[in-house]
Structure 1
């Protein structure tokens, strides 16, 4: 093959190089893309607003939120639950009233059946001059009715039972869907577990330079440090929050220093294993934990 043979498009074989060239030009096939830094949520950003937190709070599961954003979310969910509960109660009342109407109609039908059965028991005076004629007329009627074909009656009943889209009385109707009783528990948007306002823990980040203003601090790539070791915090550094003080420390500091005596180095309070909350690192819709940063985009395959 010559040096320019790979660019030849007159061959009988669709080569791999041509396929890649057409894929890049027309957008067919599957592409594996390495996600950049802009696609990753920073460790100090809110999981709802995706912006750096002004007043950060953390859940017992380790998800960081802006206090105003998570409180608005909880209040919105409570109003939605109240609306669903109101609709459920309205449906329940409608079902109760319909059951009462059905019970009244059944009772009325029972009374009518009782009256008809009681009326048939009452004896009627017999006229000896017309009794024979009545019997003959009844027998002739029964013979005439037995001689008629039964297919006509069955066809009429079948035609009435079938639905029709042209006759309003026979048009099939869709019944309203029954609502299930909604749960009154507000769930965390990230973990899906129940969340309460009194369980939110205030987080206190230690800035890298206390003299810097907030605007100057947010413009820096490295903003916060560990409260104990003064190591710089980032997306690649596992962090934890201490419940009593709300201080953010590195996981290495927790393993090597704090877990030895289980004492908060900032306030001096005694700690338990539940008081050390691992801070969830920023992830994306493509990678759950922020470690695997590759995304695959499937496109229609070109048919040869």
Structure 2
């Protein structure tokens, strides 16, 4: 398009290019940004702290956590459940007492009505029956007197769930289900600080074949030994005998835990690569 066409402002049509440019400048409309490689968690990072794991553990669903982070999370959730359970029990006991009190008041009211009906005329006088006396029903609720202001009922609590759930999968999780993970360093002899300072693709290798591990490489954790191997080596070497080559223990399908990984900027790998934020729409 020529410069004259870009500077033309006398057109009768509000073009798509102009609408898109005005939307970005004004902040209205849905904003979409494609996330890059730095916005996706590496395969050896904790799902809670998003930092490389020093003492990693994995759940049966394949989510990797730092042991300290997931244990702290489980303890916090258990304490929260205990507090919510006590509050629910207190409210349930209070509601039970209120129901008993209401039943007692109803029985007393029925007794008073029976006695008033059985009392002969002339022997029982009630104030306010004829000559403009005060009403026996009492004062009406008032919004200006604090003692007579109607109060809103307390929110009814639901019984909390007793089990703690995984923050990523949402399934029930116990501390005994966590499996220790042992990555094989690409270069033995490095300190933990030197190892974490390297690129994620240069930190660890497959425990069987020595292939480098990364987000683009599907991996699995063997439950008996905790070793991390590639899925290619699992299909080619392990599933024939179904034995852990490092510990010699027999394996089942549940003992091969597929490690959840993030995608790169070019492959989805089961994650969303587009950040989307909805804003008020500007009508043309």
Check whether the contact 2:181–2:227 (CA below 8 A) recurs between aligned residues.
yes
Q: CA deviation at 1:238?
A: 0.9
Alignment gaps of 5+ in structure 2: 124-129
Distance in 2 of aligned mates of 1:26 and 1:215: 46
Structure 2 CA distance for partners of 1:82 and 1:30, relative to 1, 3 Å? closer
Structure 2 CA distance for partners of 1:251 and 1:13, relative to 1, 3 Å? same
Structure 2 CA distance for partners of 1:303 and 1:115, relative to 1, 3 Å? closer
Which residue matches 2:252? Answer: 272
Which residue matches 1:198? Answer: 176
- CA deviation vs aligned residue, 1:125-179 (integer Å, no higher than 9, x gap): xxxxxxxxxxxxxxxxxxxx9xxxxxxxxxx9xxx99x87557788554211111
Which residue matches 2:5? Answer: 5
> Equivalent residue of 2:11, what SS?
coil
1:237 aligns with 2:204: no
Q: TM-score scaled to structure 2, two decimals?
A: 0.82
Where has structure 1 moved over 6 Å in runs of 4 or more? 167-170
Q: CA deviation at 1:183?
A: 1.2
Q: CA deviation at 1:118?
A: 4.7
> Equivalent residue of 1:4, what SS?
helix
- CA deviation vs aligned residue, 1:86-124 (integer Å, no higher than 9, x gap): 111111121122122223223323433444455449xx9
Which residue matches 1:249? Answer: 229
Distance in 2 of aligned mates of 1:185 and 1:240: 27
Counterpart among 263, 276, 281 of residue 296 in structure 1? 276
Check whether the contact 1:7–1:18 (CA below 8 A) recurs between aligned residues.
no
Structure 2 CA distance for partners of 1:110 and 1:33, relative to 1, 3 Å? closer
Mapping for residues 24-43 of structure 1, pairs under 5 Å: 25-43=25-43
Task: Name whichever structure is richer in helix by fraction.
Answer: 1
Structure 2 CA distance for partners of 1:178 and 1:7, relative to 1, 3 Å? same
Check whether the contact 2:63–2:259 (CA below 8 A) recurs between aligned residues.
yes
Check whether the contact 1:58–1:200 (CA below 8 A) recurs between aligned residues.
yes
Mapping for residues 126-205 of structure 1, pairs under 5 Å: 165=143, 172-205=150-183
Q: CA deviation at 1:60?
A: 0.8
Distance in 2 of aligned mates of 1:88 and 1:179: 6
Larger deviation: 255-264 or 172-181?
172-181
Alignment gaps of 5+ in structure 1: 125-144, 146-155
> Equivalent residue of 1:9, what SS?
coil
Which residue matches 1:92? Answer: 92
- CA deviation vs aligned residue, 1:29-84 (integer Å, no higher than 9, x gap): 54442211110001111111111111111111111111111111111111111111
> Equivalent residue of 1:260, what SS?
coil
Indicate the RMSD between aligned Cα atoms, in angstroms. Answer: 3.0
Count of residue correspondences = 266
Check whether the contact 2:207–2:227 (CA below 8 A) recurs between aligned residues.
yes
Structure 2 CA distance for partners of 1:111 and 1:34, relative to 1, 3 Å? closer
